[in-house]
Chains A and B, each alone.
Chain A
Amino acid sequence: MMKLNLNKTLRAVFFASLLTVLFFTAATTVFAQDDMPTDDEVNAIAKQLYCPVCENTPLDVCPTEACRQWRELIRLQLSEGKTEEEIKQYFVDNYGARVLAEPPRTGLNWLVYILPPMFILAGAFILFRSFQAWTKPKAVETASSPSEEAGEASDKDPYIARLEEELKNRK
């Protein structure tokens, strides 16, 4: 009788422990999924920002303590319900526009957007003109016969014309 009671108690303790573990696991999982932004959500914003301390390293892959703090700040602001634009604006206000991966389209920053396409267009134009210059003389060469060429040359160059005339007279 005593043994039976002990078994019952042990079984009750086992089920109570199991239920407790299941409850807290489920509660933790729900908290992690619903309230805290994931690393992917944080990094989606972090990759659009650069920390001024470590130049040329996007915030999502920067290993320094300063960048870790910034990522946690993004996580905090996301959990407070701030939008991507609001978070980026917060960073610009606090650390300056140079933290943005894509410079704002104002003032001298416009050069960054205008110059590269301009140089590409100018390069294409120069190449086009160069090809034209290379192909035109060849077209003239292939179209004209040697005699015509000589004739043309004599027309153009008075010395050659005179030389040819003297050669003819000797004959």
Chain B
Amino acid sequence: MTETTTPKRGVSLWVQIVIWAFIAALLVLVGVILNKRQQGTVQPGDQIPDFTLPLFSGYEYEGQSEVKLSDFRGKLVVLNFWASWCKPCEQEAAELEEAWKMYEDSGKVVFLGADYVDTEPEARAYLKKFGITYYNGPDMGTRISQLFRIRGVPETYFIDPDGVLYYVKVGPFLSVDEITSIIEQKLP
């Protein structure tokens, strides 16, 4: 009694391994990207990595045309994302300026405006319209907004003197008191 086996032509084992490994890598990549997109904004308690914000002329910081977050170590930073085409941003513009004026001379708090996906002439007109004087500049290449994973504008991030995020405000502030009460949480 003899058994005969028919030779079976198929894809070799190595080719199969390569194909499956490729598909698995692709799925992992898609998963990582989807996960990153659904993460939401950075969360309170996160150490904020250093970033550079170029500044509009007339809005420079001590003569510098750009600032780094690390330049403000030891100070509380209020980072506001806005745009001239954003109607809710207009609701809080005057309140932010008023709050800035309250802390400007103390030297303990810095307000930064990051202009998100905007055109400079309209941005300047907006700053002039609301009499904004704190440091402002364009979020070039949307790098800072991507770093914070913002979902829209306006959004405001409160970073403590050690560079750690401690509060996120999504949407416009309703009053100056709302802004100052968040700042006072971390002021010595």
Contacts and interface: CB of A to CB of B under 8 A. Distances in A.
A contact residues, range: 20 to 34
A52 interface: yes
B117 A52 contact: yes
Nearest to B152: A53
Contacts, number: 41
B1 A66 contact: no
Interface residues of B, number: 20
A64 B117 contact: no
A156 B117 CA distance: 74
Interface of A: 51-53, 64-66, 69-70, 72-73, 92-96, 98, 108, 115, 122, 155-156, 158
A95 B116 CA distance: 9
Contact of A64 (B84, B85, B138): B85
B141 interface: yes
Given A66-B83, A69-B85, A158-B1, A96 B141 contact: yes
Ranked nearest first, the 8 interchain pairs of A and B with the lowest CB-CB distance are A65-B85, A66-B85, A96-B141, A96-B142, A69-B119, A158-B1, A73-B119, A69-B122
Nearest to A72: B119
Contacts of B29: 108
A110 B136 CA distance: 36
Contacts of B146: 96
A95 B142 contact: yes
A14 B92 CA distance: 56
B62 to A, nearest CB: 25
Contact of A96 (B1, B83, B143): B143
A162 B39 CA distance: 70
B4 A156 contact: yes
